[in-house]
Chains A and B, each alone.
Chain A
Amino acid sequence: DAMVIQNPRYQVTQFGKPVTLSCSQTLNHNVMYWYQQKSSQAPKLLFHYYDKDFNNEADTPDNFQSRRPNTSFCFLDIRSPGLGDAAMYLCATSREGRGKQPQHFGDGTRLSIL
């Protein structure tokens, strides 16, 4: 089945220790998104790629970076995680369609900070 796969499902890191979350997709969608979601809150878009074009949200901290080496893979790097970065991180994909295409989510990575 075509899908969006996130690894790992659970990640524990130490305060200030860099961490990388990964996302892969077999849907061949050209848009990939990274969201941060905290308890009882809406998913918050951090950035997205339209093909290789990177689009950062204005309020995304510099601590968050992303890489998309090819169509299938996208990574979220948190350079110096703080306690406030503990959250569920969601990767999603869609076809290009000016917001008319549904986004399909992976299972998420739950990040804990010690």
Chain B
Amino acid sequence: QKEVEQNSGPLSVPEGAIASLNCTYSDRGSQSFFWYRQYSGKSPELIMFIYSNGDKEDGRFTAQLNKASQYVSLLIRDSQPSDSATYLCAVGITGGGNKLTFGTGTQLKVEL
């Protein structure tokens, strides 16, 4: 079982819709969760991080964490074509020190 799993997509949403990106993780003791956006050929860019159960909002982005279900999601409201990218979920694994474990990413396409 992979430690961090994401649906590779592509996930296609129309402009203005809500995009919902999901991530599951296997280590129940994980404490920290990060979402990165990566445009094709570019490096990952930090979007949000969340440590506690519940929702965390930042502008059009909302991260949701459910530790009991080992599930973290990223919602993007009012999706724009510029949001088209791959979204990487990263998790701080118990006993991993400073290391993060990355998922393979979900490709999001926002269509006009």
Contacts and interface: CB of A to CB of B under 8 A. Distances in A.
What is the size category of the interface that chain A forms with chain B?
Answer: 20 to 34
B6 to A, nearest CB: 9
A33 B99 CA distance: 9
Interface in B1-59: 4, 8, 31-32, 34, 36, 41-46, 49, 51
Contacts of B49: 102
B69 interface: no
13 contacts: A42-B104, A43-B44, A48-B99, A50-B97, A88-B43, A97-B98, A99-B31, A99-B32, A102-B46, A105-B43, A105-B44, A105-B45, A108-B42
A90 B105 CA distance: 16
A98 B43 contact: no
A98 B104 contact: no
B103 A108 contact: no
Interface of A: 31, 33, 40-43, 45, 48, 50, 55, 88, 90, 94, 96-108, 110
A76 to B, nearest CB: 15
B43 A106 contact: yes
A89 to B, nearest CB: 10
A99 B104 contact: no
A80 B93 CA distance: 32
B45 to A, nearest CB: 7
Contacts of B104: 40-42
B47 to A, nearest CB: 10
B99 to A, nearest CB: 6
B75 interface: no
A65 to B, nearest CB: 19
